[in-house]
Amino acid sequence: MTPPVVHSLREQIREHILEGIVSGRWQPGERIVERRIAVELEVSQTPVREALRELESLRLIESAPNKGVRVRNLTAADLKESYPVRAGLEQVAAELAAGRLADDTAALEREVAALTTADAAADGEAQVRHTVAFHREIIRAAENGVLLHTWESLGVEVWTTLSIRWFSPDPRSHAQDHQEIVDAFRRRDPKIGEILRTHVLSCAPRV
């Protein structure tokens, strides 16, 4: 897994642990030892602890007294839970941002172009990065800090990665789906919120 661009030690450690979970280095139920990760990465235990707390808030790991931190036994149903919440947020964002994005779709078009390249190369990691970036641009265009904070707290990139790597491993073209959203913004489709909501729900892993 090629990690996304990160800006802090905590984020780098989080991505390292996430890759270990996704790749199967740590199996469901297996303990993740904070001290061992700190030694392996040659860092203090503080940022490791912070990264583990973040992953616990996303429900990827769980901690219990005298048992330490362990990988949760995640199912497709677990991953699917966040999608209706995300879909609702993005529906609101699309409606708030509709005018601004109708006037300027350049940011969205850049991500679609990147997705086209990723699709051609069957680069799953790049598909995840640019898919999430596309949706983040819509959230930002809504210009609502509460909405952005709530959306970011869902850990969209994490759940998208797990959904694709674990439950939707077959190659899929993403550029065309997102181009259709761009086209809907351009033509000022009055149903843009519902279009985006339906799109997000269609990406949820099948139970």
Residue 79 confidence (pLDDT) above 60: yes
**Band (116; pLDDT cuts 50, 70, 90):** very high
Identify the pLDDT of residue 207: 62
pLDDT of residue 21: 85
Is the Cα torsion angle 8, 10, 11, 12 positive or negative in sign? positive
Q: How much is the average pLDDT of 119-148? A: 93
pLDDT in tens, 58-68: 888 998 887 78
pLDDT score of 5: 47
Residue 4: per-residue pLDDT: 43
Backbone angles phi, psi at 42, to 5 degrees: 60, 50
Q: What is the mean pLDDT of residues 70-89?
A: 89
10: Cβ–Cβ under 8 A, 6 or more apart, which residues?
47, 50, 51, 54
pLDDT of residue 141 exceeding 70, the answer is: yes
Q: Which of 74, 164, 62, 82 is nearest to 123 (CA)?
A: 164
How many C-beta atoms lie closer than 10 Å to residue 179's C-beta? Answer: 16
| pLDDT value for 197 | 97
